[in-house]
Chains A and B, each alone.
Chain A
Amino acid sequence: NAGVTQTPKFQVLKTGQSMTLQCAQDMNHNSMYWYRQDPGMGLRLIYYSASEGTTDKGEVPNGYNVSRLNKREFSLRLESAAPSQTSVYFCASTLDSTDTQYFGPGTRLTVL
């Protein structure tokens, strides 16, 4: 099992550009999450998908959109990148609410 995979690992964007971060899991998990991690702060939830076909906003959804393409894949899109979106983005998945979350290696995004 590869676990949770994320692409790309690094990305530099100019203000106003768009991009999609990809996430996939091969553990047959139901729930998937997108977080951002900024220096000196805990992880903050952007969006999550409790099950295939559903998505919900987390704590900091503004400027982002998501798609739960199927049970395996959950993508995060930045339509018009801003410097405030410079961060490390993590995707995670879990089987259910009694299980822990499994994390991908992260995408380090810089917006100039």
Chain B
Amino acid sequence: KQEVTQIPAALSVPEGENLVLNCSFTDSAIYNLQWFRQDPGKGLTSLLLIQSSQREQTSGRLNASLDKSSGRSTLYIAASQPGDSATYLCATEGSNYQLIWGAGTKLIIKP
């Protein structure tokens, strides 16, 4: 059974720093891995989707990588801003088309 873990559960960094969020998964047989952002009291917004055949995806200041062999993905945020403060969740999609979710990393960017 797939398990998805995100460590740390919370992270606080000064504005302007580059940072990396981690996501690990136990079963490498995935179709894709997705990163989402959740703001307090809101729904989730998709940030990046990496297909299993891809190694990375980029969108603006965000870069997500995927290493299936080691069961790891990272989300790199460049030049962080206070508006990046949110909870970031990763999820893997398997053969049954269901997403298995990590518990998220709560990110706080201090001005």
Which A residues contact B (CB, under 8 angstroms)?
4, 31, 40-45, 48, 50, 58-59, 90, 92, 97-106
B49 touches A (CB below 8 Å): yes
Nearest 7 A/B pairs, CB to CB: A42-B101, A103-B43, A100-B46, A103-B44, A43-B101, A105-B43, A42-B103
Contact with A along B72-111 (1 / 0, CB 8 A): 0000000000000000010101000111111110000000
Interface contacts (Cβ under 8 Å), in number, total 52
Q: A97-B31, A97-B93, A100-B34 are in contact. Are A45 and B99 (CB under 8 A)?
A: yes
Q: Number of B residues whose C-beta is below 8 Å from A?
A: 25
What secondary structure prevails in chain B residues at the interface with A?
strand
Shortest distance between the CB of B10 and any CB in chain A (Å): 11
**B22 to A: closest C-beta gap in Å:** 15
B54 to chain A, nearest CB (A): 12
